[in-house]
Structure 1
Amino acid sequence: MILRAAILLAGAALVAEPLVTGFERFHAATPTAEGGRLLYNELGCVNCHGGVTGLPAPRGPALATVTQRVRSEWLRRFVADPAAVHPGAVMPQVLARSDARTLDAVEHYLASLGPKAEPKGPAKIMHVNGGRGGELFNTMGCVACHAPGQDFVPPEGAPKAAEFTHRSVGLGDLKAKHSLDSLGAFILDPLKVRTDGRMPKVAMERQDAIDIAGYLLAFRGSDGRLDEPVVPVVADKTLALAGRQAVLAARCAACHDLPEDVAAKPVALGRIDGGCLDADHVRGPRYALAEPQRAALKLFLARKGEAAAPKLAAELTLHALNCVACHERDGQGGPDAARKPYFQGDHNLGDTGRYPPPLTGVGGKLRPEWLAKVMAGGNRVRPYLKTRMPQYGASTAELAKLLGVADARAVLKFAGGDDTAGRKLLGTQGGAGCITCHRWGDRPSLGIQGPDISNIASRLQEGWLKEYLINPAGYRPGTLMPSFWPGGKSFNPSILGGDTDKQIAAIYKFAESANGEPEGFPRNRHGEFEIVPKDRPVVQRAFLDGVGVRAILVGFPTGVHLAYDGDQGGPGLAWKGRFFDAYLTWFSRFPTFEKPLGERVVAWPKPVGRFLGYRLDADGNPTFLNEQGGVKVEETFEGVAGGLRRIVTWTPVPGFTPAIHHPPELAPTEGPAAAGRRVFTYLWK
């Protein structure tokens, strides 16, 4: 089978100017000294001319084994003119006027640096599945930086050329450069040769890497032993000595780790123009800089002695490592429209189940020790994302500290905390039902599989946790997470007197105690799980047909039940009889839209407001909080014999009357009305 691994031309780096994605996305439109600082670091200027940029130092690839990893002809052509062979390359042209013999000499010098090359037989690769490799390449995060393949169409359809907002990091002619074995080894662990983390390591099995390599090389067939291996160069001593002189003269050791006898001494900058900044100059490295790049570098050089504040250093480090290819921070970054379809995961969680979390305020969200482990590739809490968080090696060693300073918030420490109350609040028996959507350690949630919350005490800072629980949508618009403390007011006044601070502290304390699990995990994991309201109303979130993925079901002991629209804010369905079977909601890996168990189901017209949250009174009756036309409206529902009572209240505003609709099948009786208050009773006869 022939796999077409053609890479989209739209969005690929096809021009000679060096590509620093963070600069092109966020700094090129209006050149600034900050953008120039990023370029001065990422183009390696700092390696020759010194200075402190506040960013992780860029280093060129390890060269000791390069002649055993890449093909000889490609290496000589690349050394002669990097941008011509690999459009967008940040390596400058340093051997522009070298003849073929000099290039051969450089290659032999590089060959002399590594272990003795042994002739290679067929690669020890028994099987290659390029089709599988294509799916991995296009879904595990590679296309956040590189262009997606034309032969892989995501569920939402292939992107249009106009949807690419910036160039992709080009791959060059991989067939001319690599064998299946050498490319697979590089994909498996780029940090072995690219220690600066600009090509990070994504955790995968060797077979994954081989399959991706097969896809990118358009490898024919499935027997990897048929691939043409890289032929190592056997160093010639005479040529190697001549090559050493060329490497020394070209100052290659400024960016590459080479023996001390070819070390490059720093070159002081006496002026902020000329030299490498000129479009065409005789001596030194030659960059094909675009005018915005040249302008930004000049602005930075005029202020080169200024240190970068932690906030700027953190921001530019995220740009340098291209973390903002996947993550949004302060309204910038995240995948562009062309790449969004390739981010996949658990569709039941909406956008939060597909896209990596925002980094806005992350240094004030995560505990420093947790954040440091995340940067090192650990502490994965979102296994449903197909995009994998990569490892950047030593380049992220200071990033957690920088973010901690940049995003520092006033320290909040919860005083005390009733872990017994916390256990109830997290559970489904009179609590917020957190385990309906969130895992608890190794216990799957009862419904959709949101992040594990058993580790919130070791993961999250107290101040951030409190603010988030009060207003989740303020931190992540579009989240399925509702507020159980809308406006800082508790949804359940019967626990700890409805004190918001005490309730949140109790949740934190219970998680910190590691003393058991929240109430509501069923012992029997098989069979039907019908919820039967007995002594007080029962609240259950679910995907409900006719209401949506944010349905809030309320079962009343009186026998008539409600499903409220937790998206637009308004009653959705009501029915009589049996309430709800939660088996699929709790245990299905892919929850489907379910239906009420009862009969005589009636539907309200689609609501037009904005849902803000809900609270429960001492008897468990819900009050839903909405907004219509900028005015806050509250709806309380109570069970009555044979029906439901609906109490709508709002603060009277001249010219405002809330939109109140009713099911066409039911004509409610209206109780006494007052300014800002209407009461309706719906009866099933």
Structure 2
Amino acid sequence: MNRFVSVTCIVIVMSAAGSVHCPSANAQSLTQTLKSESLDTLTREAREKGNAIRGAILFTQQNLACTKCHGPGVDGKRFAPDLTVMPDDVTDAHLVESLLLPSKTIRKGYESITVLTNAGKVVTGRLMEQDADSVTLQVPSFELPRITINRDDIDTISPNIISPMPDNLMDQVKDRSQFLDLVRYLMELNETKRKDVAVAKSASHQSIRPELFGEVLIKEFNCAACHSDDAAQSQLTAKSAPLLSWSAGRISPEHLARFIADPLHVKPGTTMPDVMRSLNDDERQAAATEITHYLVSLSDRSFATTPVDAAAAQRGGELFHTVGCVACHSPRDESHVETLAESSVPLGPIADKYSTSGLVEFLKDPLQSRPSGRMPQMKLTHWEATDIANYLMSDHDEQGARSESSFDLNQSLAKAGKTRFDKLRCAACHSSPGHSSPSSGAKPTSLPLAEVNRNNGCLSGQSGPWPMFDLSPDQTAAIQSALDNPQRKLSTPDQVAVTLTAFRCVNCHQRGELGGVSDERNPHFQTADPNLGPQGRIPPTLTGIGAKLNPQWMRQVLASGRAIRPYVLTRMPQFGINNVAHLVDDFAETDQLPEVQYADFQDETEIKKVGTELVGTSGLNCIVCHTFQLQKSANMPAVDLTEMAERLQKKWFYHYMRDPQRLSPNTIMPSFWPGGRSLRADILDGDTNLQIEAVWQYLLDGRQARTPRGLINEPLELLATDEAVMLRRSYPGIGKRGIGVGYPLGVNIAFDAEQMRLAMIWKGKFADPGGVWRSQGHGNVRPLGDSLMNFAKGPDLDDAERPWQVDEQRPPDHHFGGYSLDEKMRPEFRYRFAEVDVHDRFVDTVDEASGQPYLRRVVSLTAKSARGGLAFRAASGKSIVQVDERKFRVDDRLTVQIDQDHDGKIAETTDGQQLTIPLAIEQSPTELTLEYRW
């Protein structure tokens, strides 16, 4: 074999015998190979040899993106045709041809166009909407975004004869056998076209009706604090004001005084009214000062500030933008400027308001100070709350600190403040020691809501002896719309819509046409597993949820935020069970599914045995994707099967198994019973209902269910014998551009070709590739052996003064140039930084004194002219200790020794320490030699 070819044969040890094919450097791609075969042969063998079950699983894989493009789409408009309802003239041969030659026949209505703008920008996609003013295209990129272009900005529009489906898409499957499996599944879909079925009926509004939004606002602004509201029949609890006994000592007295004096200016968008609008400026300031002293007197706790922790703030920024905070609050740019302020719940001058410790307490459990639940509990740990608090406090000034409070409590002013507090009827909304709770104490003193004069009061927008609210014209109109209905009796679907809107559940969830993740906030909904597509990051739909979840499970979700999707990084908040408990019954009353004829069976033991078979790899292969008893599948961590029967209603399960996409539009779950016809005609005589019943009976055993076949796989192991072995695949913490190398002496590395760095080093056994080979390439290679060291991200060679700010991308001034292999197949990596060419070589060596293997790394740097100001990172860790002049110990596990011509420095980082070596190229090549020993 040519030693410079980047393919290396490897020895595999596994429980079952297998063969390894080592392709030549100029081998054809799979697509090219398949195109060279006759259409008749591929069609015949797909029907005879293809496995529809395996094909169904391939259909869901992210690299093929079948479900992304051929899925339900937006507003019922798919990017590509619905493969469950193919036209009658589609043949087996047509399916094969469509996969290999997608541009040969493009379904009418799914053609793409190219728009050239006046500015020279080219946009290609499917035409979704057009009118006299604009054209909207859906473009074939990761999230299939829609782009609207004004007609005035368009130069030309031209049709395309090339399909958006890539011509070489079949290169993404592993081999010819998988291609035949995929075709066989499509054949099944074509033969058993889906019939229309009824789906869950739910409240469905394009947007919440104005009169319902008015009901939300009446509770949001707590109008009943002043006005009796006998006509209201809403189960939604009013938004209560913060508990003042909790706030004292945790909120800055200076902020309190400013806010009380002028709440609408200090925090625009606040629901706190200005109750002193009738006072002149001096009187307002005096009243605010007195009330502030009264509030501070409610606690012995003193307000104290602490400096912002920069490292914590950086972590907090990432949490703030991923756990769900920005579903309601505005995301922020690097300068802390709110980017969606107009459509977000305002935070106000939060760094002026709280102490860091007070904000941490609030974030950990907002319900203790605001029990009405509009600010929910986000299940933050103490350290997560600390990080987010530091992030929110860090926008105060460049130093991240502020001066200490100079407030001195004056008891005389506090006594006067209590009188002011009573006179202004603050206790109508706020609870505090010595005053009754708002719900049982302060009685309404004004007219009933139904009798208010809207031209002379809170809704008039004019100043007077009434509270002044910061109401927009739309809010005013919505409240008036609600009051125009004298009965104000809400149906159960309306109760649901009002509650979901009030608690902003619809910012994350969609129910019917109400709510859903907005385009602006969509990028902030992240996942730990991109293989799952949108269902891996977008919270599930609430459409039909009352017919889906068992009431007890739903109560646990609402009460404690119980979750089954750990890959969705946005968390399920807790609003307080007393605030949302009515939803359990309301959902159940509103959502109904058509009746189902459940299958009858005679032998429970036998039916569960069949269910075990169907769930396993010898049946429907459910276990390939689903977690079971907390043990992850090889393919992706889809919802755990263990609790499924406890969670789901049986009727919903039957409907879902027959047609997953109808009930869960974002799902990548394939249909194993398309059109009601089973893909496994050999099990239970192909009886669809009986097969579904068998799976259900198996799931009923929950944690006592037998382990299905295929869950436990014997590990694979790559061995290096006389030569080094390489595996270019995805590695933990590296990604898909990882290059693992196992050396004959039992020392190993993983090199990151994306960021040009030594990412991992370990000794002993090399690696288990099962994570990528068993999951169609989507998992990770698992390093074996011991003493694994993970090094920090970012390139090893960089500018000493202006290093690249590390993220997940490729450094812009670094370029990977491949590698060459020596006679023992050991690679020498080649890359460039700016004008410096680097050859980075690792050689396994035996220490003569101890007989132990170690790695020698030789880094050769070449430049056309002298270059100084470089730094090379040799290692990183939590702690690095200098043993002697040139020897350093990393995390007390790995020793790094530097050659005689260079010196090492220990530098502090946000995550620990790193060992760097200053470099200057005065003559080319310049060499740096490092030794890594355990």
TM-score with structure 2 length normalisation? 0.50
2:625 maps to which of 437, 459, 471: 437
**RMSD (Å) for aligned C-alpha atoms:** 3.3
The CA deviation at 1:123 is 5.4
CA contact (8 A) 1:38 1:320 kept: yes
Identical counterparts, % of pairs? 34
CA contact (8 A) 2:273 2:467 kept: yes
3-state DSSP of counterpart to 2:332:
coil
3-state DSSP of counterpart to 1:129:
helix
The CA deviation at 1:272 is 5.2
Query: Which residue is 1:105 aligned to?
Result: 290
Query: Which residue is 1:214 aligned to?
Result: 390
Query: Which residue is 1:77 aligned to?
Result: 258
Instruction: State the AA in 2 paired with 1:82.
Output: P
**1:517, 1:528 → 2: CA distance?**
28
The superposition leaves residues 5-25 of structure 1 with CA deviations (integer Å, 9 ceiling, x where unpaired) of xxxxxxxxxxxxxxxxxxxx9
The superposition leaves residues 245-273 of structure 1 with CA deviations (integer Å, 9 ceiling, x where unpaired) of 32223222222223446942123322352
**2:312, 2:771 → 1: CA distance?**
38
CA contact (8 A) 2:293 2:413 kept: yes
1:60 maps to 2:245: no
Which stretch of structure 1 is more off in the superposition, 517-526 or 268-277? 517-526
**1:129, 1:200 → 2: CA distance?**
22
The CA deviation at 1:587 is 6.8
Instruction: Map 1:13-412 to 2 at 5 A.
Output: 26-27=207-208, 32-51=210-229, 52=232, 53-96=234-277, 97=279, 98-112=283-297, 114-118=298-302, 129-151=312-334, 167-218=343-394, 234=409, 236=411, 238-258=412-432, 259-260=434-435, 263-266=441-444, 267-269=446-448, 270-271=451-452, 273=454, 274-345=456-527, 346-393=529-576, 394-409=578-593
> In 2 relative to 1, CA 205–227 (structure 1 residues): closer, same or farther, beyond 3 Å?
farther
The CA deviation at 1:376 is 1.4
Query: Which residue is 1:463 aligned to?
Result: 651
> In 2 relative to 1, CA 147–527 (structure 1 residues): closer, same or farther, beyond 3 Å?
same
Unaligned 5+ segments in structure 1 are: 1-24, 530-542, 544-580, 594-685
> In 2 relative to 1, CA 70–510 (structure 1 residues): closer, same or farther, beyond 3 Å?
same
CA contact (8 A) 1:74 1:176 kept: yes
> In 2 relative to 1, CA 517–171 (structure 1 residues): closer, same or farther, beyond 3 Å?
same
Query: Which residue is 1:571 aligned to?
Result: none
Which stretch of structure 1 is more off in the superposition, 517-526 or 436-445? 517-526
The CA deviation at 1:523 is 4.3
> In 2 relative to 1, CA 117–495 (structure 1 residues): closer, same or farther, beyond 3 Å?
same
Unaligned 5+ segments in structure 2 are: 1-205, 719-729, 731-768, 782-934
The CA deviation at 1:471 is 1.1
**1:398, 1:243 → 2: CA distance?**
39
3-state DSSP of counterpart to 1:64:
helix
Deviating above 4 A after TM superposition, structure 1's stretches of 4 or more consecutive aligned residues are: 122-128, 219-224, 226-233, 410-417, 585-590
CA contact (8 A) 1:138 1:152 kept: no
3-state DSSP of counterpart to 1:449:
coil
3-state DSSP of counterpart to 1:517:
coil
**1:461, 1:413 → 2: CA distance?**
14
**2:595, 2:398 → 1: CA distance?**
57
Which stretch of structure 1 is more off in the superposition, 419-428 or 103-112? 103-112
1:525 maps to which of 683, 703, 714: 714
**1:411, 1:123 → 2: CA distance?**
62
1:426 maps to 2:611: no
**2:385, 2:573 → 1: CA distance?**
14
The CA deviation at 1:399 is 2.0
3-state DSSP of counterpart to 1:305:
coil
The CA deviation at 1:337 is 1.2
CA contact (8 A) 1:448 1:586 kept: no
The CA deviation at 1:519 is 2.7
CA contact (8 A) 2:659 2:674 kept: yes
Query: Which residue is 2:685 aligned to?
Result: 497
Query: Which residue is 1:448 aligned to?
Result: 636
> In 2 relative to 1, CA 196–81 (structure 1 residues): closer, same or farther, beyond 3 Å?
same
The CA deviation at 1:404 is 1.8
> In 2 relative to 1, CA 468–524 (structure 1 residues): closer, same or farther, beyond 3 Å?
closer
**1:589, 1:333 → 2: CA distance?**
36
Instruction: State the AA in 2 paired with 1:251.
Output: R
TM-score with structure 1 length normalisation? 0.68
Structure with max Cα Rg: 2
Instruction: State the AA in 1 paired with 2:694.
Output: A
> In 2 relative to 1, CA 473–317 (structure 1 residues): closer, same or farther, beyond 3 Å?
same
3-state DSSP of counterpart to 2:245:
coil
The CA deviation at 1:279 is 1.1
CA contact (8 A) 1:272 1:301 kept: no
The CA deviation at 1:336 is 1.2
Instruction: Map 1:664-683 to 2 at 5 A.
Output: none
> In 2 relative to 1, CA 99–440 (structure 1 residues): closer, same or farther, beyond 3 Å?
same
CA contact (8 A) 2:596 2:654 kept: no
The CA deviation at 1:76 is 1.3
The superposition leaves residues 283-322 of structure 1 with CA deviations (integer Å, 9 ceiling, x where unpaired) of 2211232222222212211224332121111111010000
The CA deviation at 1:35 is 1.8
3-state DSSP of counterpart to 2:490:
coil
CA contact (8 A) 2:625 2:634 kept: yes
**1:218, 1:244 → 2: CA distance?**
34
**1:343, 1:55 → 2: CA distance?**
28
Instruction: State the AA in 2 paired with 1:402.
Output: D
> In 2 relative to 1, CA 36–512 (structure 1 residues): closer, same or farther, beyond 3 Å?
same
The superposition leaves residues 501-553 of structure 1 with CA deviations (integer Å, 9 ceiling, x where unpaired) of 21111111111123433532354431169xxxxxxxxxxxxx9xxxxxxxxxx
3-state DSSP of counterpart to 2:555:
helix
Instruction: State the AA in 2 paired with 1:68.
Output: G
3-state DSSP of counterpart to 1:65:
helix
> In 2 relative to 1, CA 424–348 (structure 1 residues): closer, same or farther, beyond 3 Å?
same
Which structure features the higher share of strand residues? 2
**2:631, 2:334 → 1: CA distance?**
39
CA contact (8 A) 1:472 1:482 kept: yes
Instruction: State the AA in 1 paired with 2:635.
Output: G
**1:370, 1:256 → 2: CA distance?**
34
Which stretch of structure 1 is more off in the superposition, 367-376 or 70-79? 70-79
The CA deviation at 1:367 is 0.5
Instruction: Map 1:534-545 to 2 at 5 A.
Output: none
CA contact (8 A) 2:211 2:481 kept: yes
**2:567, 2:299 → 1: CA distance?**
43
**1:151, 1:127 → 2: CA distance?**
14
The CA deviation at 1:489 is 1.6
1:516 maps to which of 691, 694, 705: 705
> In 2 relative to 1, CA 229–165 (structure 1 residues): closer, same or farther, beyond 3 Å?
closer
**2:308, 2:318 → 1: CA distance?**
20
**1:407, 1:204 → 2: CA distance?**
32
- The size of the alignment, in residue pairs, is 505
3-state DSSP of counterpart to 1:49:
coil
**2:239, 2:335 → 1: CA distance?**
33
